[in-house]
């Protein structure tokens, strides 16, 4: 069930919901709403829908208004919407598409048409998600890439300044990684990087962003985390990586830690953490430097 695409069906008429459910339930996980307010609520609840089938004629909040609300919010604006309605005038369809719907199906419902239109939009949605994932993630480790980190960091900094939350960063570099590649081969080196990435993911909280920004360089951006807490987390991470022994090898990392200060940009915080990383390297590697 969890692997099936999720479709949110929105209609105030039980008979219409039953007809749509009957032709979709075999291949999709269904969520049901009988009014616009419930649709807006379910659209942001896990599992988030991959597609919304939306009636237009509903009491209190009609489908057009619901569509406008969905398209105005970042969490829901990219969910494709198909209007399913008894309105069959060209201007109605044109208006629905103008609001951002991807398709328009008229009632009475014809199951074969619904299935075909839904299948097309689900396929397009999956392809878009795949392309977005490729654009934002490092292909070897599946961590975020530098491009995503730089964009997300600006949002984190804005949040930190607005709400006075601390923000810290760990710059992490694998010690003597060239020797791993030279002595054991690049396949083993890749396995080492993936093992470290897994540890970073396991030790990341919801407020954190883990990224690979270079060959053997990683960044962990720690939301709502002060320098002392970041230092503690960096040391836990260093110990976890040393203990992991990926591919039977003892692998260590050096870590530089920095906290965002007033008026500081992300680039300057990154540069500060990088300088402290090189201090850790100069002092013998396999250590954390935070000042």
Q: Is the peptide bond before 108 cis (omega within 30 degrees of 0)?
A: yes
In the annotation, is 94 catalytic?
no
Query: Residue 202's CB: how many other CB atoms inside 10 A?
Result: 10
Query: Residue 261's CB: how many other CB atoms inside 10 A?
Result: 11
Which tokens in the block code for residue 228? 């002392």
Alpha-carbon gap, residue 291 to 289, rounded angstroms: 6
Strand segments, DSSP code E, in 148-215 are: 167-174, 208-212
Is residue 214 left, alpha or beta, with left meaning phi > 0 and alpha meaning psi from -120 to 50?
beta
Query: Residue 17's CB: how many other CB atoms inside 10 A?
Result: 19
Per the CB < 8 A criterion, the answer to whether 146 and 158 are in contact is: no
- Interhelix angle 111-136/14-24, rounded to 10 degrees, is 70
**What is the secondary structure of 27-38 as a DSSP string?**
TSEEEEESSHHH
Per the CB < 8 A criterion, the answer to whether 213 and 219 are in contact is: yes
The one catalytic residue among 26, 41, 202, 216 = 216
Query: What's the DSSP call for residue 25?
Result: T
Per the CB < 8 A criterion, the answer to whether 48 and 74 are in contact is: no
| Helix (H), strand (E) at residue 178 | helix 177-184
**H runs (alpha helix) in 55-110:** 63-71, 90-98
Active site members: 216
């Amino acid at each position: 069930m969890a692997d099936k695409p999720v479709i949110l069906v929105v209609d105030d008429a039980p008979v219409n919901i039953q007809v749509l459910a009957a032709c979709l339930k075999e291949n999709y996980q269904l969520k049901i709403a009988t009014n616009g307010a419930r649709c807006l609520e379910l659209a942001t609840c896990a599992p988030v829908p991959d597609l919304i089938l939306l009636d237009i004629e509903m009491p209190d909040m009609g489908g057009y208004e619901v569509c406008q609300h969905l398209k105005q919010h970042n969490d829901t604006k990219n969910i494709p919407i198909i209007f399913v309605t008894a309105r069959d005038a060209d201007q109605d369809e044109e208006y629905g598409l103008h609001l951002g719907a991807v398709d328009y199906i008229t009632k009475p419902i014809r199951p074969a048409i619904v299935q075909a239109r839904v299948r097309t939009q689900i396929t397009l949605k999956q392809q878009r998600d795949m392309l977005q994932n490729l654009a934002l993630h490092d292909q070897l480790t599946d961590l975020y890439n530098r491009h995503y980190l730089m964009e997300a960091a600006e949002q984190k900094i804005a949040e930190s300044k607005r709400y006075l939350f601390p923000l810290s960063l760990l710059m992490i570099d694998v010690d003597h990684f060239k020797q791993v590649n030279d002595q054991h081969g690049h396949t083993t080196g890749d396995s080492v990087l993936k093992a470290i990435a897994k540890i970073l993911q396991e030790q990341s909280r919801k407020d954190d962003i883990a990224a690979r920004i270079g060959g053997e360089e990683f960044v962990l951006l720690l939301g709502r985390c002060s320098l002392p807490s970041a230092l503690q987390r960096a040391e836990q991470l260093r110990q976890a990586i040393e203990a992991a022994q990926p591919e039977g090898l003892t692998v260590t990392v050096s870590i530089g830690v920095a906290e965002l200060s007033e008026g500081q940009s992300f680039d300057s915080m990154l540069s500060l953490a990088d300088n402290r990383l090189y201090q850790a390297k100069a002092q013998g590697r396999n250590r954390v430097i935070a000042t």
